Amino acid sequence: MQALKRILILYKNSPSPAETARSLRLWLCARGVETEMFSADVELMPLRASAAASDAVLVLGGDGTLVGAARRLNGIRTPLAGMNFGRVGFLAELPAPGDGDWETPLSSLIEGRWAREGHLTLSWRILRREGAAWTTLGEGVAVNDVVTAHGVVARAVSLDLSIDGFLFSSLRCDGVIVSTPLGSTAYTASAGGPLTMPSMNAQIVTPICPFAGGFPPLALPASSVIRVESRRRDDQVLLSVDGHDNLPLAFGDVLEIRGCPDQLHMLVSDPNWYLRRLRDRGIVTSGPGHRQY
């Protein structure tokens, strides 16, 4: 990486990140770095234009703020880095002021000493048959996961899961999670799915509490086309994208998902950041006699 000359600062719209953003802008300008600053919920067009013209995007907030920014900037290859104002902060490498030394790693970042990593995202769309044709009802991008699950009624739903045109399983379950490697530490891990190195171009499919038709969590190539179809008229099925956007999936509707490699770019200072953060955030625990390295 070359030294950074222009950084876009995005901050969660709350007092502490906003105040820190103003301080960081002065700190960066004093070191010759041009900056622009927006709230993370700014309108899409100025956000994308500023990101495209920047060397990096620095996101101040929790993991949700960073994931939301990544979705809104989909297709723009400017890399992201995070300063953690959340509870877990798995994706954010810089500590917030008061939580640790941020000046040393941020100096290293603007000097171009962090590495750039490309990660897979998921492209999804909802299809409905109208006569002989299929109509697209909605589409988008997921950074962590796409979840098809029961709605407000806490009962199992019937789903058909097809992979590359092959009917793989007919399930009666609470739902199905399709996640990226980067999102494997979220809902997928809670549902018993595998922790997956984020450098892998894989889609991870995990059934949620299957009553019938279950299977172990499944890793698929990015190129695989996954289809989930609602199979009972009286089921209330909802689609959730990165924990948001609860969209109904009616009887006969098809959710289609495929992987898109190298779409999300992040800046990291440590090549072992993922393994180290699994341990430091308590997702992986060590037994007696563990030594620190």
Residues labelled as active-site residues: 63
Query: What is the C-alpha to C-alpha distance for residues 247 and 258, in angstroms, rounded to an integer?
Result: 18
**Residue 190 and residue 169: Cα distance in Å, rounded?**
22
Of residues 155, 178, 120, the one with CA closest to residue 235: 155
Residue 32 to residue 267: CA distance in whole angstroms? 20
Residue 145 tokens read as 């996961």
CB 252, CB 126: distance < 8 Å: no
Residue whose structure tokens are 């009666």: 172
| Nearest alpha-carbon partner for 179 in 216, 238, 222, 210 | 222
Residue pair 269/113 in contact by the 8 Å Cβ criterion? yes
Look up residue 265 and give its DSSP letter.
Answer: E
Relative orientation angle of helices 15-29 and 103-110, to the nearest 10 degrees:
50
